[in-house]
Amino acid sequence: MARPDRGASARPPLKWAGSKRQLADEIVSRLPATIGTYYEPFAGSAAVFFALAAAGRVRRAVLSDTNPELVATYRALQRDVEGVLAHLEQHAAAHGEEHFYEVRALEPRGLSLTERGARLIYLNRTCFNGLYRVNASGAFNVPFGRYKNPRIYDPERLRAAARLLKGVTLREEDFERACAAAQPGDAVYLDPPYLPISETAYFSSYAREKFGRAEHERLAAAFRGLTTRRVAAVLSNSDTPETRRLYTGLEYASVGVTRTIHADASRRGAVSELLVLARRAARRGR
């Protein structure tokens, strides 16, 4: 797994809100040159993992997330990418608004692993803005995306992702559990649902995302735990006074990114994000 996979693309197989594709190089450059086990506890589309793995910098990896469909999809790609591709071919042939809503209505736990993975990839490529959102009963409820000609799947990209996922441990679990397993010599990249940039945004997103102030406090404590245990770690979040307060005393860098996935078009555009490093800051208040 440590050798660069020349045929492998570093591109993640899914679109994801908050994907770190743009920042992957910035993040990778802040991780140690040699990593025992690489942990990505808020995996999402795992942009940083795919960049690191394609560069041959991952020996062992643990990808985890609390989203069961996401974890099932990585498992499906890992175990039977050709089976996933066969189901995607059928979705592509039947694609249209009616088919989208039929697939969306399927209960994923009643499907085989390959059907389940193909369902999420199909919905991800064809729903509105590639978003992932569920209703109160946990059912995916993003509407049909009005794309003229969506690229429903790219076999080479999915096969490349499947090669990079070989041997990776995949877990559906909370970030705190993943952090607790990391040892000195390992590296962790943490990319939580962000603290909103404004207070109004904070309250709406708190109710919807269920990752509010208390969760960010719990995450900051876990991150400080990694620092104390001398585990290398990088965390990203929106660059707000609240984030800076949560990580006071630690080293951080502010980096600019362009946001393309946001339901409100006025909030797409350039924003700053903070990368916090699990090393004690030489100086305070930067």
Ligand X SMILES: C[S@@+](CC[C@H](N)C(=O)[O-])C[C@H]1O[C@@H](n2cnc3c(N)ncnc32)[C@H](O)[C@@H]1O
Residues that bind ligand X (CB under 6 A): 16, 18-20, 41-42, 44-47, 65-67, 174-175, 191-193, 211
Smaller CB separation from ligand X, 95 or 220: 220
Nearer to ligand X, 108 or 193 (CB): 193
Nearest residue (CB) to ligand X, 41 versus 108: 41
| Least distance to ligand X, CB of residue 273, Å | 11
Q: How many CA atoms lie within 13 A of 44 on its CB side?
A: 20
The residue among 149 and 258 lying less far from ligand X, judged by its C-beta, is: 258
Residue 53 tokens, joined? 């793995």
Exposed/middle/buried for 229, CB within 10 Å: 0-12, 13-18, 19+? Answer: middle
Alpha-carbon gap, residue 4 to 200, rounded angstroms: 45
Between the two ends of the chain, the Cα-to-Cα distance in Å is 38
Contact of 274 with 253, CB cutoff 8 Å: yes
Nearest distance from C-beta of residue 153 to ligand X, angstroms: 18
Contacts of 15 (CB under 8 A, 6+ apart): 45, 124, 125, 130, 261
